[in-house]
Amino acid sequence: MSAADRVGIKVSSDDQQEPIRQHSAGGVLVRANEVLLISTRNGTRWQLPKGRLEGSETPAQAAAREVEEETGVLGHVLDPLDTIDFIYQRRSGRTVHKRIDLFLLGYRSGSECDFDPNEVTEARWFPWQDALEALTYDNERGVVALAQDAWQRALSIDPASRRGRAGSSSKDKPCKETY
């Protein structure tokens, strides 16, 4: 007999379930002085690209893969940034404990016009300050601020970190018509 049974408390089986644990990774992809963000939920949310780890991949490998899958842009991992850790409840009532490891990535190649339309409404390059203002979640704003500091340090140590800065920008040539 459980302690809840002994004192007459009814506990539903859902209340006894351990939270679902999810481990994701993503990144702040930088090109020159711009950050690549994704829009989801029909453009109502701007956020960092991220997704779940697959198989035996490391968080850094997952971050690079997820950024490329969601945005169409290939980046290389420069540094770990931070981990966002939170708990939320699904519509079903089930609790989820989510951990997201985030990394600073430098631009290698590709175009934001090649984003995955099954997961993303839009991918767009933003100047640092505009990215901070556009982001929906405060915890991601904090990560982007850390990324900006890390990027500036990387540039002061190794100006070659700017490699790959050339390329089209949706600011210069939109991927799709906007009305």
pLDDT, tens digit (0-9, with 9 covering 90-100), for 30-41: 999 999 999 999
Strand pairing report for 50-52 and 95-110: unpaired
Considering only 45-49, 56-60, 89-93, 95-99, which range has the smallest mean pLDDT? 89-93
28 Cβ contact list (under 8 Å, min separation 6): 35, 48, 81, 102, 103, 104, 105, 143, 144, 147
Mean pLDDT rounded to a whole number for the chain:
85
Q: Is the pLDDT of residue 159 over 70?
A: no
Cβ atoms of 103 and 25 within 8 Å: the answer is yes
Residue 46, classed as helix, strand or coil, is strand
CATH number (domain holding residue 30): 3.90.79.10
The structural domain count of the chain equals 1
Region 121-149: mean pLDDT is 97
CA distances from 3 to 6, 7, 130 (A): 5, 6, 54
In a domain, 62, yes or no: yes
Considering only 53-57, 158-162, 175-179, which range has the smallest mean pLDDT? 175-179
In a domain, 143, yes or no: yes
| Predicted TM-score of the model (pTM) | 0.81
Residues paired with 125 in a beta bridge:
36
| pLDDT attached to residue 11 | 44
**% the chain with pLDDT above 70:** 79
CA distance 86 to 107: 29
In a domain, 52, yes or no: yes
Give the pLDDT confidence of 77-133 residue by residue, as tens digits. 999 999 999 999 999 999 999 999 999 999 999 999 999 999 999 999 999 999 999
What residue numbers bound the domain in which 117 lies?
18-157
Number of alpha helices (DSSP H) and beta strands (DSSP E) in the chain: 5, 7
CA distance 21 to 168: 38
27 Cβ contact list (under 8 Å, min separation 6): 48, 49, 50, 63, 64, 66, 67, 75, 77, 81, 102, 103, 104, 105
In a domain, 4, yes or no: no
| pLDDT attached to residue 154 | 82
In a domain, 179, yes or no: no
- Exposed/middle/buried for 14, CB within 10 Å: 0-12, 13-18, 19+? exposed
Strand pairing report for 73-89 and 50-52: unpaired
CA distance 115 to 69: 7
Region 174-179: mean pLDDT is 52
In a domain, 37, yes or no: yes
